[in-house]
Amino acid sequence: MARTTRPTLTHVAASAGVSVSTASLAFSGAGPVSERTRQRVLDAAAELGYAGPDPMARSLRQGRTGIIGVVFAERLRHAFRDPVAIALLDGLAEELGPVGPGLLVLTGNDERAGPSTEQLAAAPLDAAVFATCDLEEEPLVEPLRVREIPMVGIEGPRMPGVSLVDIDNIGASREVTEHILSLGHKRIAAVVLPWRPGRQRGFLDRARRDLSGSVVFADRLRGTEEAIGASVHAWEAAASTVEEGRAAGRALLDVDEPPTAIVAHSDLLAAGVIQAAHELGLRVPEDLSVAGFDGIDTPWLDPLTLTTAVQPMVEKGRIAGRMVTDLLAGRTPEDVLLPVHLRVGGTTAPPR
Amino acid sequence: MARTTRPTLTHVAASAGVSVSTASLAFSGAGPVSERTRQRVLDAAAELGYAGPDPMARSLRQGRTGIIGVVFAERLRHAFRDPVAIALLDGLAEELGPVGPGLLVLTGNDERAGPSTEQLAAAPLDAAVFATCDLEEEPLVEPLRVREIPMVGIEGPRMPGVSLVDIDNIGASREVTEHILSLGHKRIAAVVLPWRPGRQRGFLDRARRDLSGSVVFADRLRGTEEAIGASVHAWEAAASTVEEGRAAGRALLDVDEPPTAIVAHSDLLAAGVIQAAHELGLRVPEDLSVAGFDGIDTPWLDPLTLTTAVQPMVEKGRIAGRMVTDLLAGRTPEDVLLPVHLRVGGTTAPPR
DNA sequence: CCCCTCGGTCGAATCGTTTCGATCGAAACG
DNA sequence: CGTTTCGATCGAAACGATTCGACCGAGGGG
């Protein structure tokens, strides 16, 4: 009587005295089954210790796993340090949660590489969301395209076969910079996001600029420069973190004639800049105006509120989730461009 | 010639003029195949646009998916705000990355609930890691146990069938408190982690204490009280965040005779307490000593270094990963207790 | 010169479901 | 009372691979 192997639907059906197909229906509820039969099946299952239909077998038959992959082109530790990425995931989880088992996080192990092509080719996904912005350089899209797996990109370049959730990086960045300009600032510097490929820290010179960077990062710089009408003195951060912002702040501020305003292309960078300013004895916003980008919570800056471009981070995830749902239902969602709005906080003021 | 459906191994084999079994071997490399044949198969595959063996079919046959589930009993947004959880995930990913497709994050959608039982029953996992500490209250273990899925718990209570990676919460917490005592402090207060169930904010009174809280949280409190030799004046935070720490700090410090030292049971809480102290015009460590727990990076406290109990966060994940590997290989790993060491920083000093 | 071995290849069984079409009895209808 | 209809149930065919044992020839050892 004792079976060493786990019970299957066949065993349950036999024990309940019904056919496998009926037993299956009893579990899935996808067909007409009399209450009595259903109960017999469930009882038999309980008695045998049957845990319900095997997910793998079910997947094979149905052709889907319910798993949505989220691709990061960074090591997990770095990707998850970014509040924007977390918010995105949260929105995604919120939208997709009830649907399937969950989110499969696909990251690289390397400091800056994403998951391997083999990993992507072998992952049991129904759809994938590219959370990183450097879509075009990624050879990661190809294996999924071959498998005909629906893909959604976040703030990436437009690519055939990849639905896009985008935000108006150029416009928002321009708006922030215009705000700074309208306050009367003349000496403005920028802290830009890491310029792919090969994140490094340092002044963004001509040569570096000419490398094709990531769309997002390039767009934010472009917005700033469009507002100024000229190229801006910029420092490139190696990552979007407070520490990097601090290093940037030090480099930009600890000079003879420091800027009176710094436009940082992320809130974390801005926070670092403010910290550096404080360390150098500069007051914000009296001696230095600082603006950020993203609109994350910055309780540690309290009582200061950061002037920044607020993007709908969680909403981005939700919309991506809805796109995934649409794609899986066979519909073709249109690309979405989400609005970003300027929030004037207490970190910007007219120059003295 | 045009096929509307995606090619399968059968098509590839036919096109290459070999049997399916041989084609399979050519892909998996698990058997002797002549170089010539292998090449023919790969060529045929390329020509047909065959993306490699279907993950679901492969899973069904092999009985495993390569997916490791990570269970959080919280909404993703909250779970991922905790640097300790991120570090754990990072260590896990590092250890398991090369093995399989990735980590399946299983969270609830509710503010404080984990994934549903059905979700767990239907997830195609090879093994699961419980990242939350409240293992015992979770009905989540059961569905996985029935499915005979190997489980690893982090800092949870000892449970049959669940391998454990633990840290010495009691000892470490005692050590931190002893350090405070050795500096000569008499008026000591604590900020404890949320006391399950029903996270709320407020003084930890008798009634609340008597509820069986989570092991970790209880252990850290116990360590503190063992050192003091009496029950401690404690504030319960609703979450392990800077904001909550700040609220706690306000409540504990904005009174007639405030404590001269506060032991916070997480670094984030400690950071909040320090912030609250500053807001109240208290200097750290001159007017108030503050200690934390965890040993996360706190660049924003710079130049202050937090006095804290440093736990090997990433290592915890790595070890959990190794345990998973062992379990999948049929070995039965022993439970692990990782050391935690006191790091004396600049936030603690003798009382004035 | 024969037998054994071994690399390379193949057929067929199997993994555990879901699902389609057929069947069967009973109720409903004319 | 015969025919339709419909709900409940069942058999059998997928789903797309892996894997085990068998087979076949060539090369090596006796």
pLDDT of B61 over the 70 cut: yes
Type of residue at A83 = P
Q: Are B55 and A123 in contact, with CB atoms under 8 Å apart?
A: yes
> How confident is the model over B176-200, as a mean pLDDT?
91
From chain B, pick out residues whose CB is under 8 angstroms from the CB of A80. Answer: 80, 86, 89-90
Residue pLDDT, tens place only, B196-234 = 667 789 999 888 887 766 788 889 999 999 999 999 999
From chain B, pick out residues whose CB is under 8 angstroms from the CB of A102. Answer: 69, 104-107, 115, 119, 123
pLDDT of B157 over the 90 cut: no
CA angle B319, B323, B326 (to 5 degrees): 140
Q: Are B96 and A115 in contact, with CB atoms under 8 Å apart?
A: no
A252 and A326 co-located in one domain: no
A307 and A318 co-located in one domain: no
Identify which has the larger pLDDT, B323 or A352: B323
A291 and A330 co-located in one domain: no
B62 assigned to some structural domain: no
- A25 CB closer than 7 A to any strand D atom: yes
Confidence category of residue A168, pLDDT binned at 50, 70, 90: very high
B207 and B80 co-located in one domain: no
Residue A3, pLDDT score? 56
The overall average pLDDT reported for chain A is: 91
Confidence category of residue A133, pLDDT binned at 50, 70, 90: low
Long-range contacts of A111-116 (CB under 8 A, 24+ apart): A111/A74, A111/A75, A111/A78, A112/A73, A112/A74, A112/A75, A112/A199, A113/A73, A114/A71, A114/A72, A114/A73, A114/A74, A114/A138, A114/A140, A115/A71, A115/A140, A115/B102
pLDDT of B1 over the 50 cut: no
B217 and B321 co-located in one domain: no
Element of type H or E holding A106: strand A102-108
Instruction: Give the domain range for residue B298.
Output: 169-311
Residue A99, pLDDT score? 65
pLDDT > 90 in chain B, percent: 71
Confidence category of residue B11, pLDDT binned at 50, 70, 90: very high
Element of type H or E holding B280: none
Residue A217, pLDDT score? 87
The C-alpha atoms of residue A128 and residue A144 are separated, in whole angstroms, by 8
**Which nucleotide's C1' atom has the smallest distance to the CA of A63?**
D15
**Closest among A40, A35, A41 to A9, alpha carbons compared:** A41
Q: Which residue is nearest to nucleotide C10 (CA to C1')?
A: B19
* Alpha-carbon distance A229 to nearest alpha carbon in chain B (angstroms): 35
> How confident is the model over A26-53, as a mean pLDDT?
93
> How confident is the model over B109-124, as a mean pLDDT?
81
**Which nucleotide's C1' atom has the smallest distance to the CA of A20?**
D10
A173 and A300 co-located in one domain: yes
> How confident is the model over A77-99, as a mean pLDDT?
87
Q: Is B266 helix (H, G, I), strand (E, B) or coil?
A: coil
B2 assigned to some structural domain: no
Out of A55, A102, A299, closest to residue B243 by CB: A299
pLDDT > 70 in chain B, percent: 94
Q: Which residue is nearest to nucleotide C7 (CA to C1')?
A: B32
Q: Is B108 helix (H, G, I), strand (E, B) or coil?
A: strand
A156 and A206 co-located in one domain: no
- B177 CB closer than 7 A to any strand D atom: no
From chain B, pick out residues whose CB is under 8 angstroms from the CB of A51. Answer: 121, 143, 146-147
Residues 6+ apart with CB under 8 A from B277: B249, B253, B283, B284, B287, B288, B290
B182 and B138 co-located in one domain: no
Out of A6, A121, A300, closest to residue B148 by CB: A6
Rg (CA), chain A: 26
pLDDT of B173 over the 70 cut: yes
A343 assigned to some structural domain: no
> How confident is the model over B8-19, as a mean pLDDT?
96
pLDDT of B131 over the 70 cut: yes
What is the number of residues in chain A? 352
Q: Is B54 helix (H, G, I), strand (E, B) or coil?
A: coil
Nearest chain B residue (CA) to A77: B90
> How confident is the model over B172-181, as a mean pLDDT?
98
Residue pLDDT, tens place only, B259-281 = 999 999 999 999 999 999 999 99
The C-alpha atoms of residue B111 and residue B105 are separated, in whole angstroms, by 16
**Closest among A86, A131, A87, A80 to B317, alpha carbons compared:** A80
Q: What is the CATH number of the domain that holds B76?
A: 3.40.50.2300
- B112 CB closer than 7 A to any strand D atom: no
> How confident is the model over B160-181, as a mean pLDDT?
96
Confidence category of residue B100, pLDDT binned at 50, 70, 90: confident
Confidence category of residue A1, pLDDT binned at 50, 70, 90: very low
B60 assigned to some structural domain: no
Residue B199, pLDDT score? 75
* Alpha-carbon distance B56 to nearest alpha carbon in chain A (angstroms): 5
Binary contact (A275, B81; C-beta < 8 A): no
pLDDT of A17 over the 80 cut: yes
> How confident is the model over B226-254, as a mean pLDDT?
95
- A39 CB closer than 7 A to any strand D atom: no
Angstrom CA distances, B20 to B24, B53, B59, stand at 6, 12, 17
Out of A51, A119, A123, closest to residue B147 by CB: A51
> How confident is the model over A240-269, as a mean pLDDT?
96
Tokens of B287: 């007017």
* Alpha-carbon distance A272 to nearest alpha carbon in chain B (angstroms): 8
Binary contact (B6, A67; C-beta < 8 A): no
pLDDT of A2 over the 60 cut: no
pLDDT of B29 over the 90 cut: no
B58 assigned to some structural domain: no
From chain B, pick out residues whose CB is under 8 angstroms from the CB of A58. Answer: 122
Identify which has the larger pLDDT, A8 or A211: A8
Q: Which of A184-188, B155-159, B231-235, B251-255 has the lowest mean pLDDT?
A: B155-159
B350 assigned to some structural domain: no
Identify which has the larger pLDDT, A212 or A180: A180
B224 and B272 co-located in one domain: yes
Angstrom CA distances, A2 to A5, A206, A267, stand at 9, 75, 62
Q: What DSSP letter does each residue of A278-333 carry, written as one string? A: HHTT--TTTT-EEE-SB----GGGTT---BEEE--HHHHHHHHHHHHHHHHTT--P
Q: How far is CA A157 from the centre of its chain?
A: 14
pLDDT of B87 over the 50 cut: yes
Residue A8, pLDDT score? 96
A4 assigned to some structural domain: no
Residue B99, pLDDT score? 65
Confidence category of residue B136, pLDDT binned at 50, 70, 90: low
A112 and A31 co-located in one domain: no
Confidence category of residue A97, pLDDT binned at 50, 70, 90: confident
Report the domain count for chain A.
3
> How confident is the model over A162-172, as a mean pLDDT?
95
**Closest among A280, A234, A285 to A255, alpha carbons compared:** A280
A288 assigned to some structural domain: yes
Residue A274, pLDDT score? 96
Q: Which nucleotides of C are covered by protein (CB under 7 A)?
A: 7-12, 14-21
Determine the straight-line distance between the first and last CA of chain A, rounded to whole angstroms.
88
Residue B217, pLDDT score? 87
B28 and B149 co-located in one domain: no
> How confident is the model over B137-166, as a mean pLDDT?
89
pLDDT > 70 in chain A, percent: 94
From chain B, pick out residues whose CB is under 8 angstroms from the CB of A89. Answer: 76, 80, 105
Residue pLDDT, tens place only, A284-330 = 999 999 999 999 988 778 788 999 999 999 999 999 999 999 999 99
* CA of B55, C1' of C22: distance in angstroms: 33
A178 and A289 co-located in one domain: yes
Place of tokens 């969950």: A102
Residue B210, pLDDT score? 79
Strand pairing report for B67-75 and B127-130? parallel
Q: Is A85 helix (H, G, I), strand (E, B) or coil?
A: helix
pLDDT of A136 over the 60 cut: no
pLDDT of A113 over the 50 cut: yes
